[in-house]
Copies of this chain bind each other. A is one copy, B any other.
Amino acid sequence: MDASLESAAAFSGDLPGCGPLRGARASGALPLRQDVYEAVRSAGRISRAALAKELEVSPGSVTPVVSDLLTAGLLRELEDEAQPHGRGRPPVTLGVAPSRGLVAGMKVSDHEYSAMLVDLAGQPVAQARMDRAAEIRTVDGLLDELRVLYDRLRSQEGAGAAPILWTGLGMPGMVDHASGRMRWSPIVDGRDVDVGALVSERLGLPVSVDNDTNLLTMAELWFGRGRGLSDFAVVTIEYGVGLGLVVDHAPYRGAHGHGMELGHTKVQLDGALCRCGQRGCLEAYVADFALVREAAVALDGEVPPRGEVLEALYAQAKDGNEAARAIFDRAGRYLALGLANVANLFDPNRIILSGSRMRYEYLYAEEMLAEAVPSMSLNAPPPIEVNAWDDLVWARGAAALALADLTPRLLA
């Protein structure tokens, strides 16, 4: 063995062997029971025969599992409006039994709480909102308000008598889904708080927490256009710019369990100052505060009341004010640059721009993005899709989070 072979052999560092080291072996192997349940929920309505085909198991394996789930009250047979089925014995359509229980999803934002109650099939059955006073910044205050929100949700018509089995909770900031801890949040004081355990205790039921961007990602993955895609990115522009990734049909939360930081990717060396103290962040060009910062010039000294600056600026731009238009134009181009970077670094099937309706309509035109992003992306630029919907989607994403975490326990 010559010298360079030896050096190559030595390079492994101090570890013997080769190949990836994975701590706890990826078990991966779901029992068929769970596969069946999830396949039924995913399909909505499906027969045993189709299940066997989809899961690639023999029909003989499906029947006992299904009848087990039927007696457990988790699935039900649907009396179907006879649909056309060639000849042969007509299939019996299965669906998940929604009455077995419900899950709740709750979202905290800086100005309001929203919540939704969803049955085990994923159908919404009730919803609630509450204003939020920005002054309440203690964890205790948050817990109290969540309790009120939860009670209000339960007393809603439609909530019925079914027990609530799990709750998903989303909030802005650095929130670690795995540990349930809030590292930091812009709307609550305190660091490294175990909100998961606290909320769980206050509500008396299990809670999964996550950051708000991941709620949106879950909503897309469970109910939206992300179903069926193996890898996609969700971008949301609220007060900052958030990014959620889905890898191989599962949400990816990064090595540290917090969210990705698209808003703080650098789009300019030594660029505009950002709220985070760094320079050249994407947020410093496209977020509200960045636009407001420049509005003063375009609006020619006429300063509208706080909170209406953007509307005024937009009106001016529509009226032909070149300076105002330039502000939006630049913001749009920087957003396109940021999205192109996501496409180049991550190569998703699709990029979904998601969030409250208004912002996209007047800030970023779908057509502009659909043109600008590919011009900055290599390979196959992903389709860009704008999904504008109301605030309840956050809560629905929280419910999806709850469903995802509840399911394995429900079937154990």
Stretch of A186-194, A291-299, A376-384 lying at the B interface: A376-384
Q: Which residues of chain B come closer than 8 Å to A121, judged between CB atoms? A: 17-18
Q: Which of B24, B41, B267 contacts A56 (CB 8 A)?
A: B24
Q: Which of B26, B28, B158 contacts A1 (CB 8 A)?
A: B158
Q: Which residues of chain B come closer than 8 Å to A344, judged between CB atoms? A: 260-262, 264-266
B269 pairs with A348, CB closer than 8 A? no
In the bound complex, what is the Cα–Cα distance between A327 and B186 (angstroms)? 40
Q: Which residues of chain B come closer than 8 Å to A21, judged between CB atoms? A: 42, 227-228, 249
Q: Which residues of chain B come closer than 8 Å to A379, judged between CB atoms? A: 174, 256, 258, 261
- Asked if A255 meets B348 with Cβ closer than 8 Å, knowing A42-B19, A158-B1, the reply is yes
Which A residues from 330 to 377 make CB contacts under 8 A with B?
333-334, 337, 340-342, 344-349, 375-377
In the bound complex, what is the Cα–Cα distance between A342 and B266 (angstroms)? 10
Q: Which residues of chain B come closer than 8 Å to A158, judged between CB atoms? A: 1, 5
Q: Which residues of chain B come closer than 8 Å to A261, judged between CB atoms? A: 344-345, 347, 377-379
A16 pairs with B28, CB closer than 8 A? no
CB nearest to A392 among chain B residues: B8
Q: Which residues of chain B come closer than 8 Å to A77, judged between CB atoms? A: none
Q: Which of B17, B38, B232, B390 contacts A43 (CB 8 A)?
A: B17
A400 pairs with B18, CB closer than 8 A? yes
A43 pairs with B26, CB closer than 8 A? no
B20 pairs with A25, CB closer than 8 A? no
Interface size of A in residues (CB-CB distance below 8 Å): 108
* Distance between A202 CB and nearest chain B CB, rounded to angstroms: 26
- Asked if A247 meets B252 with Cβ closer than 8 Å, knowing A15-B227, A265-B344, A392-B4, the reply is yes
* Distance between A94 CB and nearest chain B CB, rounded to angstroms: 11
Q: Which residues of chain B come closer than 8 Å to A7, judged between CB atoms? A: 390
* Distance between A295 CB and nearest chain B CB, rounded to angstroms: 20
Q: Which of B20, B269, B345, B348 contacts A265 (CB 8 A)?
A: B345
Q: Which residues of chain B come closer than 8 Å to A127, judged between CB atoms? A: 4-5, 8
Q: Which residues of chain B come closer than 8 Å to A43, judged between CB atoms? A: 16-17
Q: Which of B19, B39, B349 contacts A255 (CB 8 A)?
A: B349
State how many copies of this chain the complex holds: 2
Contact code string A268-290 (vs B, CB < 8 Å = 1, else 0): 11000000101010000000000
A58 at the interface (CB under 8 A from B): no
In the bound complex, what is the Cα–Cα distance between A406 and B264 (angstroms)? 41
Q: Which residues of chain B come closer than 8 Å to A222, judged between CB atoms? A: 18-20
CB nearest to A253 among chain B residues: B347
Q: Which of B124, B243, B276 contacts A5 (CB 8 A)?
A: B124
Q: Which residues of chain B come closer than 8 Å to A410, judged between CB atoms? A: none
In the bound complex, what is the Cα–Cα distance between A340 and B265 (angstroms)? 7
CB nearest to A6 among chain B residues: B124
B41 pairs with A260, CB closer than 8 A? no
A122 pairs with B17, CB closer than 8 A? yes
A390 pairs with B56, CB closer than 8 A? no
A-B contact pairs, 13 of them (CB 8 A): A5-B126, A8-B116, A17-B42, A19-B42, A19-B403, A20-B226, A20-B250, A24-B56, A28-B30, A243-B345, A266-B337, A269-B337, A345-B345
Name the 10 nearest CB pairs between A and B, nearest first: A254-B347, A28-B28, A16-B44, A17-B44, A18-B122, A29-B29, A261-B344, A255-B349, A21-B228, A231-B255
